[in-house]
């Protein structure tokens, strides 16, 4: 049952003809939230095809690893995990499970993953998850795992959009909803265009229908997801600002977040729309990557540091209470000390709530791989440490000024720690932990902030 753009999944589970217990599949997710969403869609797809999705790898007949290729380290982790999975089954004296690799690594390496000592049984790329039931049925049909069948199914398909069944999750109380896939930008360090393919939009009607079914299930908040949601464009009739208008008009929906924006798409019209629509949370994750125009040009990011700062200043004028987060790469080929200082200068100027920073890691086949990776590892490490220290200084000062103040925050559920506490999130994406009687997920509380640690605040609820 392929899930194309215009249909929502039918989740009735056809009974197995032989009456045997449905084969069990365990799905493990790596990388970004697109993969989190895809893993949910894979789960729904398999359940619709008569499989059971289990949360324990040892109880599974098949294990699917939904993978990430954004950095070398991410791929190494998966390869060692394949060995670990096999070892743990041997230890538990269990028959070998089917092991499959999905996601970006599958798309990048394809059939090569079925060769060598850590060979897996099947490889399914990001646009071919509807092939999974057939492939798995072929492998798990008789309950005996040692067969040559399986295979590798990869290749981008423009129209393959998957819809995750809303009831399968609220994660963090904010339901993820992908609005498109792939990316048309050509940032020279990035492997995404190779692994996720060209940008392809989900039809706005499907997005609205998906969100309506989330609201019907009790969801009150969605996170619109894509490599570059701000680049969303459905023909000439609708851009991202227009899509936000459509989503904000859905009755019962209370909050809208989105991830990830691209500075090049953050037009004033879009920022005006975000500022005007109350349901759109005033938090912008807009990766700057560098503060140096020379490095930005070499990265093909299509904006300058001045453009970026102009966007930030304008957003602060038209989006009340807006907060920012960003990604940064240090040690990009040719980055001089002056270039790095420019990055620190931009970080000081924007005053981010949070940044995610990485040392440049060359990816095979990307345009930047033709550039000499000439910044020594020790320099990359020291620049990363300095950048994190500057950001910590900025955040500490900002967090101190917020302590004592009142915020409104929505409960996402019990906090991991301390016990008996509740995890809340403000509209501008600040985490708050409060102690006290049970708080229903999705409900709003007024909280007086009493302290902070890391990027989390502590507080007392005004409700008692």
For residue 253, give both structure tokens.
């929906």
Contact map string, positions 158 to 187, toward ligand SF4, x by CB under 6 A: -------------------------x-x-x
Residue environment code for 192-206, b if the CB has 16+ CB neighbours within 10 A, otherwise e: bbbbbbebbbbebeb
Considering the complex, state which of residue 22 and residue 192 has its C-beta at the smaller distance from ligand SF4: 192
Considering the complex, state which of residue 151 and residue 367 has its C-beta at the smaller distance from ligand SF4: 367
For residue 418, say if its preceding peptide bond is cis, omega within 30 degrees of 0: yes
Nearest-angstrom CA–CA distance, 307 and 346 = 11
Nearest-angstrom CA–CA distance, 352 and 233 = 28
Measuring CA to CA, which residue among 421, 441, 440, 442 is closest to residue 432? 421
Least distance to ligand SF4, CB of residue 140, Å: 35
For residue 266, give both structure tokens.
């953050």
| Residue 198 C-beta-side C-alpha neighbours within 13 Å | 3
Residue environment code for 50-75, b if the CB has 16+ CB neighbours within 10 A, otherwise e: bbbbbeebeebbbbbbbbbbbbeebb
Least distance to ligand SF4, CB of residue 210, Å: 22
Considering the complex, state which of residue 296 and residue 432 has its C-beta at the smaller distance from ligand SF4: 296
Least distance to ligand SF4, CB of residue 232, Å: 13
Considering the complex, state which of residue 200 and residue 227 has its C-beta at the smaller distance from ligand SF4: 227
Q: Which residues contact 240 (CB under 8 A, 6 or more apart)?
A: 229, 230, 231, 232, 233, 258, 265, 270
CB 223 within 8 A of CB 173: no
Contact map string, positions 354 to 383, toward ligand SF4, x by CB under 6 A: ------------------------------
Q: Which stretch in 90-98, 188-196, 201-209, 343-351 sits in contact with ligand SF4 by CB under 6 A?
A: 188-196
Q: Which stretch in 95-103, 190-198, 408-416, 441-449 sits in contact with ligand SF4 by CB under 6 A?
A: 190-198
Interface with ligand SF4 (CB under 6 A), residue from 192, 243, 347, 387: 192
- Cβ burial of 3 (10 Å; 0-12, 13-18, 19+) is buried
Least distance to ligand SF4, CB of residue 383, Å: 19
Q: How many residues bind ligand SF4 (CB under 6 A)?
A: 9
Interface with ligand SF4 (CB under 6 A), residue from 25, 41, 102, 190: 190
State the pairing for strand pair 354-359/323-330.
Answer: parallel
- The residues in 243-302 that bind ligand SF4, with binding defined as CB under 6 A, are 262
Considering the complex, state which of residue 139 and residue 288 has its C-beta at the smaller distance from ligand SF4: 288
Q: Is position 34 an interface residue for ligand SF4 (rule: CB under 6 A)?
A: no
Considering the complex, state which of residue 227 and residue 357 has its C-beta at the smaller distance from ligand SF4: 227
Q: Which stretch in 43-51, 124-132, 156-164, 189-197 sits in contact with ligand SF4 by CB under 6 A?
A: 189-197
- The residues in 212-251 that bind ligand SF4, with binding defined as CB under 6 A, are 227-228
Q: Is position 193 an interface residue for ligand SF4 (rule: CB under 6 A)?
A: yes
Considering the complex, state which of residue 259 and residue 445 has its C-beta at the smaller distance from ligand SF4: 259
Considering the complex, state which of residue 43 and residue 193 has its C-beta at the smaller distance from ligand SF4: 193
Considering the complex, state which of residue 173 and residue 357 has its C-beta at the smaller distance from ligand SF4: 357
- Residues 292, 293, 298, CA angle at the centre, nearest 5°? 100
For residue 204, give both structure tokens.
């706005």
CB 202 within 8 A of CB 159: no
Distances (CA, A) of 73 to 70, 130, 239, 370: 9, 28, 36, 20
The binding site for ligand SF4 (CB under 6 A) comprises: 183, 185, 187, 190, 192-193, 227-228, 262
């Amino acid at each position: 049952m392929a899930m194309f753009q215009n249909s929502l999944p039918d989740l009735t589970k056809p009974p197995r003809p032989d009456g045997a217990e449905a084969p069990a599949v365990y799905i493990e997710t790596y990388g970004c939230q697109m993969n989190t969403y895809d893993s949910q869609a894979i789960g729904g797809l398999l359940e619709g095809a008569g499989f059971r999705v289990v949360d324990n790898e040892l109880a599974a007949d098949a294990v699917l690893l939904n993978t990430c290729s954004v950095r070398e380290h991410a791929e190494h982790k998966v390869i060692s995990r394949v060995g670990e999975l096999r070892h743990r089954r041997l230890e538990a004296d269990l028959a070998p499970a089917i092991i499959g690799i999905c996601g970006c690594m599958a798309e990048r390496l394809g059939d090569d993953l079925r060769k060598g000592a850590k060979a897996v049984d099947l490889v399914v790329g990001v646009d071919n998850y509807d092939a999974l039931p057939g492939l798995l049925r072929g492998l798990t049909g008789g309950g005996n795992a040692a067969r040559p069948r399986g295979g590798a199914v990869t290749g981008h398909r423009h129209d393959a959009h998957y819809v995750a069944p809303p009831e399968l999750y609220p994660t963090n109380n904010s339901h993820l909803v992908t609005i498109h896939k792939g990316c048309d930008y050509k940032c020279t360090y990035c492997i995404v265009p190779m692994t996720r393919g060209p940008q392809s939009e989900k039809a706005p009607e499907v997005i609205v229908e998906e969100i309506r079914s989330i609201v019907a299930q009790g969801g009150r908040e969605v996170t619109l997801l894509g490599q570059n949601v701000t680049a969303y464009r459905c023909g000439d009739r609708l851009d991202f600002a227009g899509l936000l208008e459509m989503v904000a008009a859905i009755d019962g929906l209370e909050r809208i977040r989105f991830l990830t924006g691209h500075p090049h798409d953050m037009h004033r019209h879009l920022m005006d729309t975000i500022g005007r629509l109350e349901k759109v949370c005033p938090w912008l994750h807009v990766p700057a990557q560098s503060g140096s125009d020379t490095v930005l040009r070499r990265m093909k990011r299509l904006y300058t540091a001045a453009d970026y700062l102009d966007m930030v200043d304008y957003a602060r004028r038209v989006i009340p209470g807006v907060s920012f987060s960003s990604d940064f790469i240090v040690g990009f080929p040719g980055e001089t000390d002056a270039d790095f200082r420019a990055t620190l200068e931009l970080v000081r100027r924007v005053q981010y709530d949070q940044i995610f920073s990485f040392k440049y890691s060359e990816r095979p086949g990307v345009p930047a791989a033709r550039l000499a990776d000439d910044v020594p590892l020790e320099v990359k490490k020291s620049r990363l440490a300095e950048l994190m220290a500057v950001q910590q200084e900025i955040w500490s000062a900002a967090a101190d000024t917020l302590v004592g103040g009142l915020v409104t925050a929505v409960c996402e559920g019990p906090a991991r720690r301390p016990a008996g506490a509740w995890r809340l999130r403000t509209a501008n994406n600040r985490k708050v932990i409060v102690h006290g009687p049970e708080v229903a997920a999705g409900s709003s509380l007024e909280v007086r902030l009493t302290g902070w640690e890391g990027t989390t605040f502590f507080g007392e609820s005004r409700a008692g």
